[in-house]
Amino acid sequence: MPNLVDLLYDTATRAGNRISSFVTNPIETFKSTVNDLNTQAGQYNQALADSVREPLTGPKTMALAQQMAEGYSPGGIMIPAAKDIAFKATMLEKKGLTPQQIHKELGVHRGAVDKQWRQELDDRSAFVKGTGTFENTVMNRMTALGKDKTAEPITVGDVFHHSELYKHYPELKDIEVRFLPKDSKIDGRMAIPEEGKGWLEMRGDLSSEQARDVMLHELQHPIQEAEGWAVGGSASDFQNQDPAIKAKNALAWRKEVENTAERMGLNPSKNSDWYLNAQQKLIDEYYANKIGNWLPHEDIRSEASWPKYSKGTDSRTQAEQLVKLYGLDKNTTPYTPKQMYSRLGGEVEARQVQARKDLTPEQRLQYFPNEYTPQPKGYGIDTPISDLLYLNRQGYFNNQDINGQPIQ
């Protein structure tokens, strides 16, 4: 049976495999996809890091400004900010302007989890190319395009109009569209196989407006993948509630034993039997205080005694991360798979795309994207930043930003 640390890594690996399999090798594919832009971005990041350490008028800052002037404008529904705008935004940060002020001034904001500069496309002109149910739209478009469903798949570009999106991400037009099973409890998903290209699955009974809403959400996910942002996932990626509970109980007992040993003056470096002696005393105290029924199960006490739970070990740190990941550091019960999935930064952003899809340019500036405004009451994020879960394209997730700093 795998130990808790193995289970922690297994969860991350499965999530990473499912998500990064949109491309065969996520790191190498990312490099080849952005090609020269990747090199420019790397130079930009280094130049930006150098410029932050000097005054606004310093030579490195001015060199960066020149680099920005050369132009850089990738795009998407939530898209990377153009380099010149990102530069201006960073300079405003250095001057002490708040994120809200920068957004109102330049129309850009940092991602709530990965901290990368973003701007938004106007999605008001996007539409599904048909009326009635989505299934009818697909069938009518196949007929109009002369496609045989057994030989030629229908694609996103065939059924969904969004010229601005395709201008920046033309590959999205070629994603195959399929139908979800009729009894599906979800409206849509980006299906990611272990190998080969992904495809978009949709419910056939969605109205054209519902289909538009779902497609905007789902097409945000391959953009997140391509840009190395916080990505979405699936509830099936988060099935380790029981191991998290076990880790919580084992850690709690371990710490009680350690505190008892400290009270007894036992030193682990000098007393080889310190743990057994301290644990026995603690058990005796439970019974003496008539709370023996509160003792952890023998399996938990045995787990807690393993050296991997010693202070300062990586295994103990990883077990603590598992407990925190599932919310057991502050809740008595773990987050459900659906709750874990909903907390993912990439899913929060994709839901935000849906909420903001019909805002005018003026309204987009009015409503700050990173403000916590539970839907459907507002246009910010529907999950507090402190509760967001960061899953990146390699499948690593925690509650830290891309620089390893705690999300605040």
The band of 391, judged by pLDDT with boundaries at 50, 70 and 90, is confident
The band of 18, judged by pLDDT with boundaries at 50, 70 and 90, is very low
Neighbours of 236 (CB within 10 A): 11
User: Is 136 or 3 the better-scoring residue by pLDDT?
Assistant: 136
142-197 pLDDT, tens digit per residue, is 999 998 766 889 999 999 999 999 999 999 999 999 999 999 999 999 986 666 67
Q: Average of pLDDT values for 11-39?
A: 35
The band of 374, judged by pLDDT with boundaries at 50, 70 and 90, is confident
104-133 pLDDT, tens digit per residue, is 999 999 999 999 999 999 999 999 999 999
Question: In this predicted structure, what is the pLDDT of residue 244?
Answer: 96
How far apart CA 58 and CA 207 sit, in angstroms, is 56
Q: Average of pLDDT values for 285-303?
A: 96
The band of 378, judged by pLDDT with boundaries at 50, 70 and 90, is confident
Taking 70 as the threshold, does the pLDDT of residue 207 lie above it? yes
Neighbours of 392 (CB within 10 A): 25
Q: Which residues pair with 191 in a beta bridge?
A: 199
Q: Report domain extents, the chain.
A: 15-120, 241-325
Taking 70 as the threshold, does the pLDDT of residue 140 lie above it? yes
Lowest mean pLDDT among 29-43, 169-183, 251-265: 29-43
Question: In this predicted structure, what is the pLDDT of residue 221?
Answer: 94
Q: Which residues pair with 79 in a beta bridge?
A: 119
How far apart CA 124 and CA 113 sit, in angstroms, is 26
